[in-house]
Amino acid sequence: MRIKIYFQNFVIKIQQSRFVFLVPIKFIKKLLQILNFSRCSFNRVIRWQTLLKKQPYIHLGCGDTRIIGAINVDARSTSATDIRYNCTSLEIFPSNHFEGVFSNAFWEHVFLNNRLHVIEECQRVLKENGFALFLGIPDFERVAKAYLNKEPGITTKIFDLSQVYRFTHGGPESTPSWWFENLHKSLFDVYTINEILLTAQFSSWIIFRYSYGEERVPGQLGFLAYKNSSEDVESMHKKLILLIDEFNIKYVNISSLEIVSINN
């Protein structure tokens, strides 16, 4: 018995000998959504204590990216999500429990009046020597500079308003079924991140700027912050590189990485 599967337009064609079954792709997507939602619900109700015991990290706003060794949390039930939950509140997670909280391209999707609360919650759930690593934060100051100086664009010849829009709004029209979640709701610069980390009472941190992949403009910010551990710049930079490797992060252009602010 041989089964052949073809993808044609909006239909999956399954051929088994002389019989042909046509399955709409929309149906397959809906079925996968149901399965993902069921798995996340099972994890929350049945496997919750096991996840807390086994996983040392939280991955906030995981989207479609799964990190091994972390509880992958997102507002949507994707194939990568372990727990479906509102990532602006970590109230379901115990205090002083995790070694680290990781996030990429998430913080800018949080409303202005909630972004401090997110970092305070990260501080709460971390162990005393725990860390928070946030990546993919659009750097408004650097983006504005690229626009005003008419630097080479990323997808256009010149860094024009369409390029600015990508950083400030995130291009929500590319995801019509969940455009609001994908919309950027906050703007950041180095000063703002420093103020938030200080208010959230982290003890030491570095803020760094980098390029996403091969992009010519280093328009991304990130930070590595420790809850209650005084680390020197060299050790924090070394830890950052190790974490990028451990989490298998391919999109940070290491050669472009520049530390732009230090607190220790």
Model confidence pLDDT, tens digit, residues 107-139: 999 999 999 999 999 999 999 999 999 999 999
pTM score of the predicted model: 0.88
By C-alpha distance, which of 237, 201, 203 is closest to 222?
Answer: 237
pLDDT tens digits in sequence order for the chain, 264 residues long: 444 444 455 555 455 555 555 556 676 677 778 898 899 999 989 999 999 999 999 999 999 999 999 999 999 999 999 999 999 989 999 999 999 999 999 999 999 999 999 999 999 999 999 999 999 999 999 999 999 999 999 889 999 999 999 999 998 999 998 899 999 999 999 999 999 999 999 999 999 999 999 999 999 999 999 999 889 999 999 999 999 999 999 999 999 999 999 999
Range of the domain at 206: 3-263
Structure-token match 């490797």, residue found:
245
Strand ranges of the sheet holding 258-263, from the earlier edge strand across to the other edge:
83-84, 70-74, 57-60, 98-104, 126-138, 220-226, 204-210, 258-263
Predicted local distance difference test score (pLDDT) of residue 6:
46
Domain count of the fold of the chain: 1
CATH number of the domain within which 36 lies: 3.40.50.150
Lookup: tokens for 237: 């930079």
Predicted local distance difference test score (pLDDT) of residue 56:
97
Lookup: tokens for 103: 């996030």
Q: Are 134 and 107 in contact (CB under 8 A)?
A: yes
Lookup: tokens for 257: 């990485």
Q: How far apart are CA 241 and CA 249, in angstroms?
A: 10
Q: How far apart are CA 73 and CA 88, in angstroms?
A: 11
Backbone angles phi, psi at 105, to 5 degrees: 55, 45
Lookup: tokens for 247: 């989490």
Q: Computed over its alpha carbons, how large is the radius of gyration of the chain?
A: 21
Backbone angles phi, psi at 56, to 5 degrees: -85, -10
Give 70-117 pLDDT, tens digit per residue.
Answer: 999 999 999 999 999 999 989 999 999 999 999 999 999 999 999 999
